[in-house]
Amino acid sequence: MTNHVSTYLDYLSRERNYSSHTLAAYSEDLRQFTEFLKRHFAGDSWSLKSVDHLTIRLFLGDLLEQGMGKRSVARKLAAIRSWMKFLVRKNVLRTNPALNVVTPKLPKKLPVFLDESSINTMMSLPDVSTPVGSRDRAVLELLYGTGMRLSELIQLDLGDVDFYNETVKVFGKGRKHRIIPLGRKAREAMSEYFRKREELFTDATQPDDRKAIFLSVHGRRIYPKGIYEIVHRSIAAVSEIEKKSPHVLRHTFATHLLNRGADLRAVKELLGHESLSTTQLYTHVTVDRLKRIYHQAHPKA
């Protein structure tokens, strides 16, 4: 059992380019499931082929009885489904019993985003006369201007930005590359930062760090926590929203595009979503906004 889990996690890391955060979550989900199976079969002779959809439903029910939220339970089911799909491909299992288990119904959670005035204020906060301030401004402009993920941002190398064609190449989920247009504000912020970037080099800077676009104050390729702190601090200065992660700027990118009439399929490609249904979540935000405007402005609303 443990070997099957390890092989699957290695596949996600090497073949699918999953982040360390996602790998840790999947590892914990499958550890909990295998621990449940040991208790469920109570020492009787069993194998993975003994696991059916009822066994998986009992596992999910056990989690809900422990007080776990439906969203977390749904994620664990997704991890089990994906793992068993992998095992079917490897001929360990004949069928995937998790396909017959219904996902717990989740409440719709709309993306959190910033309004345009807050974005404008936020971009003026960094002190661009310093290398760190220029870097912070470039980070914010690039996240908002492209909608890229945190994991995609920290992987960027100098060769990924094409100022001539005004594009940036990112390496996304599933080891897929995509090309995103680079807007004027982002280009200006990047150019300003590039003029000061080498001032961040230190004795600790390695050859790979010299290729990286974004560097820490120690001259190393910037790490996720470093980006998170930049964004958290910046959002906190302009908004009272509870969530202040880099993903908020990704949500804001998509919402602002749709608010200004962008085609949903184009936004899907820019975000690197596999399914249009994922992108459609942002249309709920724009519909809610239109309803508010209607009720505020129409005399018979």
Catalytic positions, please? 149, 173, 247, 250, 273, 282
* Separation CA 25–CA 12 (nearest Å): 12
Pair of tokens at residue 297: 């402005």
Query: Which runs of consecutive H residues, i.e. helices, occur in 66-130?
Result: 70-89, 116-123
Q: What angle do CA 202, 208, 210 make, to 5 degrees?
A: 50
Pair of tokens at residue 141: 């402009």
Token match 């590039």: residue?
194
* Separation CA 72–CA 60 (nearest Å): 10
Own/partner pairs for 129-134, CB < 8 Å, 24+ apart? 130/196, 131/193, 131/196, 131/197, 131/199, 131/200, 132/200, 132/217, 134/189, 134/192, 134/193, 134/195, 134/196, 134/197
> CB of 171 within 8 A of CB of 159?
no
